[in-house]
A = this chain, B = another copy of it.
Amino acid sequence: MTKKNIPRPTESELEILQVLWQHGPSTVRFVNDELSKRRDVGYTTTLKLLQLMHEKGIVTRDDSSRTHVYRPALREQETQGQIIDRLLEAAFGGSALKLVQQALGNRRTTREELDQIRDLLDNIDPQTPPPPTTDASDELA
């Protein structure tokens, strides 16, 4: 199954991916310890999750030694991008603007972060061609 088909990580899987992204290749024990800092989770639960993720191709593992070492098979940015895509469609009607407004509006954001975002904005090439607004309001059913 060398599928390009990237499985969409569940919420639990994302938690684990975050640990792996942040700390690099990790054992089940380590991942579980990290997760345990945030919530109650059994060791075998974490193990099972990692095994499933392995089957799905979300992580790879080195099982040459008895204690397996897992590492992410998905890159952080790509994955996050995908998630945003979904969210954009699912909850924001495709409007990145609305999403950013929400992310920044209802939240305490530091001046430093705001500045960083401004920098980011200045480095974006605006996509001049506004997509032909597919206004389906004239259709009927």
B103 contacts A127, CB within 8 Å? no
Residues from chain B with Cβ under 8 Å of A33 in the complex:
141
CB of A62 within 8 A of chain B? no
A90 contacts B11, CB within 8 Å? yes
**Chain copies in the assembly?**
2
B108 contacts A104, CB within 8 Å? no
B83 contacts A110, CB within 8 Å? no
B90 contacts A14, CB within 8 Å? yes
- Which of A79, A93, A131: most chain B Cβ within 10 A? A93
Tally chain A residues at the interface, Cβ within 8 Å: 56
Main secondary structure of the interface of A (DSSP, over half): helix
CA distance A120 to B126 in the complex (A): 17
- Which of A22, A23, A127, A130: most chain B Cβ within 10 A? A127
A interface residues, Cβ below 8 angstroms from B = 11, 14-15, 18, 22-23, 30, 33-34, 36-37, 77, 79-81, 83-84, 87-88, 90-93, 96-114, 116-118, 120-121, 124, 126-128, 130-131, 136, 139, 141
